[in-house]
């Protein structure tokens, strides 16, 4: 098995598992309607889409700014979810 095939296989596995993690957060969001879970779901699905794109691109390079931008967006959503959950609420 060559390294390109192995890399595509591993990226597909990571994409599938991050999509499944997003499904768990979707289930929690549907039962609670808490935005915290919605932000986490979106973050995991963005990561899954990024991994799928990396697996389907013939000559992907993880060091390109595009991949860092997508990860920044994904992790930014997680930080936004944490900030939104912990900010003081007006009464």
> Do the Cβ atoms of 62 and 54 come closer than 8 Å?
yes
The pLDDT, as a whole number, for residue 29 is 96
pTM of the predicted protein model: 0.88
Among 35, 76, 71, 77, which residue's Cα sits nearest to residue 53? Answer: 71
Max CA distance (Å), the chain: 61
The total number of structural domains that make up the chain: 1
**Considering the domain boundaries, does residue 66 fall inside one?**
yes
pLDDT tens for 2-30 read 888 888 899 999 999 999 999 999 999 99
**Considering the domain boundaries, does residue 57 fall inside one?**
yes
Q: Taking the CA of residue 88 as centre, how many other CA atoms within 13 Å lie in the half-sphere pointing to its CB?
A: 2
**Considering the domain boundaries, does residue 32 fall inside one?**
yes
**What DSSP element (H or E) covers 68?**
helix 65-86
**Considering the domain boundaries, does residue 91 fall inside one?**
no
- For 26, the domain range is 3-86
């Amino acid at each position: 098995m060559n390294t390109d095939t192995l890399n595509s296989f591993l990226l597909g596995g990571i994409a599938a598992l991050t999509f499944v993690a997003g499904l768990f957060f979707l289930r929690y969001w549907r039962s609670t309607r808490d935005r915290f879970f919605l932000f986490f779901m979106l973050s995991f699905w963005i990561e899954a889409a990024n991994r799928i794109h990396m697996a389907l691109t013939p000559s992907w390079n993880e060091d390109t700014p595009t991949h860092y931008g997508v990860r920044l967006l994904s992790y930014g959503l997680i930080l936004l979810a944490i900030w939104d959950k912990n900010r003081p609420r007006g009464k």
